[in-house]
Amino acid sequence: MAAAPRDDYPVTERLRLTEIFASLQGEADTAGWPTVFVRLTGCPLRCGYCDTTYSFYGGEWTSITAVIERVRALGPRRVCVTGGEPLAQPNVQALMSRLCDAGFAVSLETSGALDASLVDPRVVRVVDVKTPGSGEVSRNLLANIESPRASDLIKFVLTSRADYEWSRAFCRAHQLPAKAQVLFSPVYGVVEPRALAEWILEDRLEVRLQVQLHKLLWGEAQGR
C-alpha cells in the first residue's frame, strides 16, 4: 500500500505540488530542449485562456528536498518552475535557489502579477504581461518589467488582433524590445500563428513569435 501524502513538513520546507514531469520545453528561448517541469498548485488569477486550471486546487504537500530528488531522478538538467502561479508560494524562492545550487539550469514562468524581484538572479524569469483578452489586464505589476534583467523574457499571450495591437502599443510605450527579449504567443486554436507572423512582419516589430511546440506535438494532453 502506498504511503499517505504528508502534510507535516516544516513550514519553511514545504510546497504544494500539482505535478512533476519530463517533456520537451515548448516555449521561450529553450524550446525543444528536454526539461523537467515542476508545477506548483494555486493561482490568484483567472485568465480566460488558462490551459492549466487543474493546478488551481488540490495538489499534495511535499518538501523542497523531495522535489529536488524527483527532479534529479528524471534526468534533464533544465528545470522549469511553473503553475498555477509559483510565486504565490513563499518557499518557491528557496526551491529555485537550491535547484541552481544543485547544478540545474532553472527558469520560472510567472503571471507578472506578483513581485518577482526576489527571484535568484541565476533563474531565467519568463514574465507575462496580461492582455485585455486575458481578463486580468488590471493585475499587471509594472515593476516586474521596468528594469528587466538581461536574461528575462517578457511574454504576451494574444487572443485576438485587438490584443496584438494593445501589445504592440504597450511594447512601444515601455520600450520593451530594447530592454529584454519579447515573446508574442497566439492562444492555441484561437489566433492563427501565420496571421500573427504576418502582423509582426508588417509592423517590423522586434519581437519573437512563440508557438507552443508541446501543443503541436501532443495537443492539450496533461503532463506534456
Question: Which one is the CATH code of 14-218: 3.40.50.300, 3.30.56.10, 3.20.20.70, 3.10.150.10?
Answer: 3.20.20.70
Of 94, 85, 34, which Cα lies nearest the Cα of 64? 94
**DSSP string spanning 41-55?**
---S---TT-S-GGG
Say what percent of the chain tops pLDDT 90. 84
Amino acid 213 reads L
Tens digit of pLDDT for each residue in 60-117?
999 999 999 999 999 999 999 999 999 999 999 999 999 999 999 999 999 999 999 9
Whether residue 3 has pLDDT greater than 50 = no
Residue type, 157: V
> What number is the average pLDDT over the span 200-217?
89
User: What whole-number distance in Å separates Cα of residue 169 and Cα of residue 15?
Assistant: 38
3-state DSSP percent of the chain in helix, strand and coil, to 5: 35, 25, 45
Domain ranges of the chain: 14-218
> Grid coordinates representing 174?
515601455
Peptide bond preceding 84: is omega within 30 degrees of 0, i.e. cis?
Answer: yes
Kindly report the backbone phi and psi dihedral angles of residue 14, in degrees, each rounded to the nearest multiple of 5, phi listed first: -95, 155
**Residue pair 156/200 in contact by the 8 Å Cβ criterion:** no
